[in-house]
Structure 1
């Protein structure tokens, strides 16, 4: 914790001054252009990956970057309510579903007994257990390929789930809402973006 305390002090004394005017403007309210749905994994840092400033991203993070299908129930729904808020109150222009390499949540699908002591985690991952069946049907040659398939299929599934939310399909077809699926590779910093027409992931790179 000492490192975190020192970090807070350093931010206030050094880094904050660079963005003083920005934070002064942000006190009046937020107007993010993008909803970023990512994994809670500590290695995935949305603003760092996208090189964005405070106020640009409305971030929702959970295990395995899951977008639960939309539903109205009496229980508390953290991810669903956050996405609903971004769509209805903030009117974001873009939504990014960002999965990543070496995802522990996706890997957990193949090691269920390890999570018996974590019933809430195990129950949460039931939302994507159908992906396991599809991946195993492909008979991947090794665990690395199995992980690759699982992570990318999971992103595709969450995009489909996103379309169950009110007005998403209408806004998307009207081109007032843009939806992206990203696969972030931790060890290389590369991001592969989902091509809706070709149904494949392609590397994002600078245009020449």
Structure 2
């Protein structure tokens, strides 16, 4: 989309959409934000959290990165952006829910099965994808490598579970989960159908979100 289209859309936003929430924006500006949910999603342009959830301004604290990965807690790691977003949401905003939202046809999960060139232009991507390696191992152990489509879809779902486990390595997250003050959710968004599946802990599997 050409940049002019975004500018035209901004003009429409000011005239129509902003007016719809004008009082809400004024209140949010004066009183600050108090979202109850942290949404960790993929940077993929096809995944739009507000559109998927119907959230209004102020409803979601959104953090997006390649693959919706959560690096394990480590005070001296190189992934401060993701870690600081989690810490801020949990310890400052005191959100009640965290959603890890993975999706179908995820480029990050597919890249786990490709050789990333050793060059300076991709050095951060190569390092970042290491977070997804456990999901790759789980998927291969579960379904093998003969059916590539099944392997990729399984990797995408396994990755969501890995990131949920990584969340629990953060002391504040673990403490609040154990105190029933924070609840973690694994969602799998199907780009091609708009459907969302959630991870059912009791069943140990992903199930469609029913109306």
Q: Give yes or no for TM over 0.5.
A: yes
- Which of 81, 93, 109 is 1:78 aligned to? 81
Report deviation, 1:190. Answer: 0.5
* Corresponding residue for residue 68 of structure 1: 71
Compute the RMSD of aligned alpha carbons. 1.6
Bigger shift: residues 123-132 or 69-78? 69-78
Change (3 A) 1:74 1:101: closer
**C-alpha distance in structure 2 between counterparts of 1:62 and 1:152, whole Å:** 17
- With normalisation by structure 1, the TM-score equals 0.94
Structure 2 residue aligned with 1:145, among 137, 144, 150?
A: 150
Please state if 1:103 is matched with 2:106: yes
The match for 2:160 is: 155
Query: Offset at 1:39?
Result: 0.4
Give the aligned partner of residue 42 of structure 2. 39
Q: Which residue in 1 is equivalent to 2:91?
A: 88
Larger displacement relative to structure 2 (123-132 or 108-117): 108-117
Q: Is 1:169–2:174 an aligned residue pair?
A: yes
Q: 1:64 Cα shift?
A: 0.4
Please, which runs of 5 or more residues in structure 1 have no aligned partner? none
| Partner secondary structure for residue 30 of structure 1 | coil
> Per-residue CA shift, 1:69-95, capped at 9, x if unaligned?
112127561000011000010000100
Residue-by-residue CA offset, 1:103-137 (whole Å, 9 max, x unaligned)? 00000011124685512111100111132233223
Q: C-alpha separation between the residues in 2 aligned to 1:131 and 1:40?
A: 19
**After alignment, is 85-94 or 70-79 more displaced?**
70-79
Report the Cα distance in structure 2 between the residues aligned to 1:182 and 1:167, rounded to whole angstroms. 22
Unaligned runs of 5+ in 2: none
Give the stretch that moved more between structures: 89-98 or 141-150. Answer: 141-150
Structure 1 runs (4+) greater than 3 angstroms displaced: 113-117
Residues 114 and 202 of structure 1: is their aligned pair in 2 closer, same or farther, counting only changes over 3 Å?
farther
Partner of 1:194: 199
Matched, 1:26 2:38: no
Residue 177 of structure 1 deviates from its aligned partner by 0.8
Whether the aligned pair in 1 keeps the contact of 2:100 and 2:160 (CA below 8 Å) is yes
8 A contact 2:104–2:153 mirrored in 1: yes
Alignment check: 8 A CA contact 1:115 1:121 kept: no
Give the Cα–Cα distance (whole angstroms) in 1 for the partners of residues 153 and 79 of structure 2. Answer: 32
